[in-house]
Amino acid sequence: MNKELLQKKIDTIAQYDLDENNVFGSAYAVTQNGETVIERYYGYTDSTKEEKVSADTLYRICSMTKPVTTVATLIMVDRGLLSLSDPVKKYIPEFENIHIIDKDGNDLGKPEHELVISDMLAHVNGFGTAVGEKMPRMTEDDLASMENTVSYFLREGLDFEPLSRQAYTAYASFDAVALIIQKLTGKNFEEFLQEEIFIPCGMKDTTYIPTENQWKRIIALHEKADGESKESQLPPNCVFENIPATHMVAGAGLISSLTDYMKFSMMLLSGKAGDKTILSEKAIKLLSTGFAPEEVMPGHTQWGLGVRVITKDGHPHLPKGSFGWSGAYGSHFWVDPVNKITAVFMKNSRFDGGYSASGERFEKAVYLD
């Protein structure tokens, strides 16, 4: 990989976002063969332009929390404490009686397919997927904790027959998996992640519950209106939308830094952080495996366990076997086991979020001459 050429291309795409008022600031990192190729910071942390983005800047990573929850699950699998094929009802008995409820409120009865752990991570479960119809009805109490959110969607029922189609699960199914991990370990989810992932990987600024110092270092949430940048405010003590940080949203609630998430993504290449093994080779292989059935998600990209996986040749940029995810506020990462590359892009903006144009430009910069 040509470091100087890549740096120029990243400078160009980062400056484009700044010139177009798409961000206040952003950060990019690429590693190959365990070495940092680039680590670059651009712009400012808020609309005042008083503080530049730096290695100390923190970001709401939203759905890039999902791969972390997946790693936690695979740690449990490695230890024989659960199986991806275990029925969810084995650990949360209330799932025994869950029904499919369509958008008009009609009860279609129990699902034919029994929900298992892998379904909950692969967006083929129908649990908490009807964002437009069901989430707006959630009360402050429903959002207060993982337990309350899972209980809410148990009452609301499944949105479709599991495995019959794919639909994005914002966080409900991941909360259910996190509750199972808490039940089996006797630890709250934050504590488990700190002990098993963040501390071993050296991720000192990744957390659900920011300290006072960390709150101050979170980049402002950007929004674009009439072509101009402005700040978008979240309610106090909320990392993701209007959900309190203490909820520990298993699919969306973490903050992190560029360097922290770079360490996490590098661990996903080998399963190791330094001399410590976080995940087995078998578990790492599962991360590059598609779990959404071919008939409901044809093509070169499938949902895997909390990640999107390039399962066939034909992706415009990434090779087969690559996997990664994006966040609602625009962060993006991928792991390329073929070329031993990891890449992380951090920003926080309501404009161009998810798997965005800026994330795709990053992919092009890394792979295309």
Could you tell me if 13 and 42 lie in one domain?
yes
Q: Could you give the 3-state DSSP secondary structure of residue 93?
A: helix
If pLDDT is split at 50, 70 and 90, which confidence band does 355 have? Answer: confident
Average pLDDT of the chain, as a whole number? 95
Flag whether pLDDT at 132 surpasses 90: no
The angle formed by the CA atoms of residues 232, 343 and 347, to the nearest 5 degrees, is 10
Angle of helix 66-78 relative to helix 172-185, nearest 10 degrees, comes to 40
**pLDDT tens track for 211-258:** 999 999 999 999 999 999 999 999 999 999 999 999 999 999 999 999
Which of 165, 185, 205 marks a domain boundary?
185
Flag whether pLDDT at 195 surpasses 90: yes
Mean pLDDT of 78-85: 98
Looking at the DSSP bridge assignments, the partners of residue 101 are 107
User: Higher-confidence residue: 194 or 130?
Assistant: 194
Which of 135, 166, 185 marks a domain boundary?
185
Query: What integer pLDDT is reported at residue 104 of this predicted model?
Result: 84
Distance, CA of 15 to CA of 29 (rounded, Å): 16
**pLDDT tens track for 290-329:** 999 999 999 999 999 999 999 999 898 999 999 999 999 9
DSSP string computed for 37-87: EEEEEEEBSSTT--SB--TT-EEE-GGGGHHHHHHHHHHHHHTTS--TTSB
Q: What is the CA radius of gyration of the chain?
A: 20
Number of domain units in the chain: 2
Could you tell me if 207 and 354 lie in one domain?
yes
CATH number (domain holding residue 95): 3.40.710.10
pTM above 0.85, yes or no: yes
**Burial bucket for residue 156 (CB in 10 Å: 0-12, 13-18, 19+):** buried
The gap between the terminal CA atoms of the chain, to the nearest Å, is 10
Which of 185, 203, 229 marks a domain boundary?
185
* CB 264 within 8 Å of CB 72: no
Could you tell me if 111 and 201 lie in one domain?
no
Query: What integer pLDDT is reported at residue 134 of this predicted model?
Result: 67
Mean pLDDT of 360-364: 95
Q: Which of 366, 299, 367, 333 is nearest to 64 (CA)?
A: 333
Its domain, for residue 120, covers 71-185
Distance, CA of 337 to CA of 133 (rounded, Å): 39
